[in-house]
């Protein structure tokens, strides 16, 4: 009886199994779609370009009252207050030849653009009689200046309503305008308002309130307010 060799048997069985299974398949070459998919996976989205930060606006100081070139350039660049200053030059005639028509056009354009100074300059021309086409424009322009923040516009309009100059007398509205600018710290408006309270004109008569307003006018630096608050001149409140 021939001896049984275990190693040989295992070798023979392994060989038969491999033969039955056939040769191992060759690795599959990647297709073009696979390569495209890999490339897409490795690609990173492009970063959006960063826009440069806008430059801050350059600070532009108003032109000087005698700088004809600077004011002309500023006005041409739509710097409204430079147009007002330029108009004042044409009105004075000390830097450039006098041209009232040009001055009026510049003031009117500036006022239309919301310049309190422009409205005041134009209102003053109606007030002093330089412009006579429509006298009521004086008060209209002063009220526009007042609404744009000019204390003197409120004061001038209030006086016009108080005196009935080119408009109907309206002390109540005058008191309203004086109150507005007195609260802003305008000494003359406080003085005018105090007089109304002292007389009871347009407001209820209130001498104590009048004295308070005269004192405030004094404290704001108006000598007439000090004298009205204390006609003797012996007691003057401290100035602010």
Tell me, yes or no, whether 130 and 182 share the same domain: no
Asked if residue 215 belongs to a domain, the reply is yes
87 and 142 within one domain: yes
Q: Is residue 196 part of a domain?
A: yes
* Claim to verify: residue 179 and residue 136 sit in the same structural domain: no
Domain membership flag for residue 27: no
Q: Is residue 221 part of a domain?
A: yes
C-alpha 160/C-alpha 232 separation (Å) is 31
CA distance 9 to 15: 10
| The pLDDT value given to residue 2 | 46
139 and 80 share one domain: yes
209 found inside a domain:
yes
Within-domain flag for 97 = yes
The CATH number of residue 207's host domain is: 1.25.40.10
Query: 73 and 144: one domain?
Result: yes
What is the model's pLDDT at position 33?
A: 53
- Supply the pLDDT for residue 15: 45
134 and 178 co-located in one domain:
no
Provide the whole-model pTM. 0.72
> What is the number of domains present in the chain?
2
- Same domain for 179 and 212, yes or no, is yes
Q: What is the span of the domain harbouring residue 178?
A: 170-240
User: Rounded to an integer, what distance in angstroms lies between the CA atom of residue 140 and that of residue 165?
Assistant: 12
pLDDT (0 to 100) of residue 26 = 53
**pLDDT by 10s per residue, the chain, length 240:** 444 444 444 434 344 343 444 555 555 555 555 544 444 445 555 566 777 777 665 677 899 999 999 999 999 999 999 999 999 999 999 999 999 999 999 999 999 999 999 999 999 999 999 999 999 999 999 999 999 999 999 999 999 999 998 999 999 999 999 999 999 999 999 999 999 999 999 999 999 999 999 999 999 999 999 999 887 766 555 555
Query: Has residue 228 been placed in a domain?
Result: yes
Give burial (CB, 10 Å; 0-12/13-18/19+) of 235: exposed
Return d(Cα 74, Cα 20) in angstroms, integer: 99
- Looking at the structure, do residues 183 and 140 belong to the same domain, yes or no? no
Question: Domain boundary at 118, 149, 180, which?
Answer: 149
- 199 within domain boundaries: yes
């Amino acid at each position: 009886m021939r001896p049984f060799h275990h190693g040989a048997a295992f070798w023979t069985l392994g060989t038969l199994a491999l033969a039955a299974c056939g040769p191992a398949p060759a690795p599959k070459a990647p297709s073009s779609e696979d390569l495209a998919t890999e490339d897409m996976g490795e690609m990173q989205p492009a970063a959006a370009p960063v826009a440069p930060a806008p430059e801050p606006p350059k600070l532009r100081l108003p032109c000087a009252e005698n700088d004809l070139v600077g004011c002309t350039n500023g006005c041409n660049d739509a710097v409204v207050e430079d147009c007002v200053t330029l108009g004042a030059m044409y009105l004075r005639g000390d830097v450039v030849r006098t041209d009232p028509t040009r001055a009026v056009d510049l003031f009117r354009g500036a006022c239309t653009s919301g310049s309190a100074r422009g409205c005041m300059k134009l209102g003053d021309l109606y007030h002093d009689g330089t412009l006579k086409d429509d006298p009521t424009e004086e008060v209209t322009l002063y009220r526009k200046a007042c609404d744009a923040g000019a204390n003197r516009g409120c004061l001038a309009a209030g006086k016009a309503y108080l005196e009935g100059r080119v408009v109907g007398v309206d002390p109540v509205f005058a008191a309203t305008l004086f109150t507005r600018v007195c609260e802003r710290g305008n000494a003359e408006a406080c003085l005018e308002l105090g007089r109304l309270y002292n007389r009871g004109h347009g407001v209820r008569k209130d001498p104590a309130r009048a004295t308070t307003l005269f004192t405030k006018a004094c404290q704001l630096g108006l000598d007439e307010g000090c004298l009205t608050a204390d006609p003797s001149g012996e007691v003057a409140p401290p100035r602010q």
